[in-house]
Amino acid sequence: MRFAKYHGIGNDFVLVADPGDSLKLESEFVRRVCDRRFGVGADGVIRVAPAEDADFFMDYVNSDGSIGEMCGNGIRCLAIFARSEGLTDKTKLRVSTRAGIRTLDVLDDGRVRADMGPPIFEPSAIPVKWDGDDALKATFQVENDTVQAACVSMGNPHAVLYVENVEAPRLMTLGPILETHDAFPNGTNVEYAHVESSDRIRMRVWERGSGETLACGTGACAVAVVSRVLKDTRETVTVVLPGGELEVSWAGWLDRDAPVYLTGPVSKSFEGELEAR
């Protein structure tokens, strides 16, 4: 099986082209491929398959073998991979995902801009167990502490916690606890955010199914959205992650149904072949 490894500011993926729609990403196979000592090493595997209603279908599986509905950096990597593999020569792509169809633009500077669709605030659709119209100020009991989080979905669930220092060691111990908390029926991604200015936010992320990663596209979108609502940040912000920077735009101050746009670089690491053993 031929593959290529790409990353979006350190959020890395193994991508395989499947124009015949004949491959199946078994959980054990994905875990072995993503293992950073005994495999290729990645945050997830993406199978690029045909789609009836779009240019491609993104079949995304997390490094632990669990299915992912959406991946912001992964879908941006898909655009460059598909063009590199000769699957398309388009600079504007429509990609079907488990969270719906997303539109991608390959920009002249090599970056990829993704229309991530509108954020989802309704608790039952995130999903999160919380009463009210939204869960932007939800509280949860974690061991002996009460934790407040702003919950939103970008096609996958997110819980954003505002902190003074995103480098605090305790944060990553809290991540796996919240990921599997009873309040989140499908689990959740956990973001730690600090608003440095009206157009700049620093964050770290604990990704559902992958653990701490250097970047998370949907997480950056979630942080930008809830910061716009709760912290009065600007329509376009730079989100700074351990792996680099992403640009997120959301004209949702008055219209929460406005789409979120995610823009950032994509890099190819290497390509090769996998052997079945």
Q: Out of 34, 151, 216, 221, which one is annotated catalytic?
A: 216
* Radius of gyration of the chain, Cα coordinates, nearest whole angstrom: 18
Q: How far is Cα 54 from Cα 46, in angstroms, rounded to an integer?
A: 16
Residue 182: which residues within 8 A CB-CB, separation 6 or more? 129
Axis crossing angle, helix 217-230 with helix 72-84, rounded to the nearest 10: 140
**Is 71 an annotated catalytic residue?**
yes
How is residue 70 written in tokens?
Answer: 């959406």
Residue 263: which residues within 8 A CB-CB, separation 6 or more? 107, 111, 112, 113, 114, 246, 247, 248, 249
Question: Using omega within 30 degrees of 0 as the cis cutoff, is the peptide bond preceding 127 cis?
Answer: yes
Q: How far is Cα 187 from Cα 23, in angstroms, rounded to an integer?
A: 27
98 exposure class (CB count in 10 Å sphere: 0-12, 13-18, 19+): middle
Q: Out of 71, 77, 151, 221, which one is annotated catalytic?
A: 71
Q: What are phi and psi of 80, to 5 degrees?
A: -70, -40
**Is 151 an annotated catalytic residue?**
no
The residues annotated with a catalytic role in the active site are 71, 216
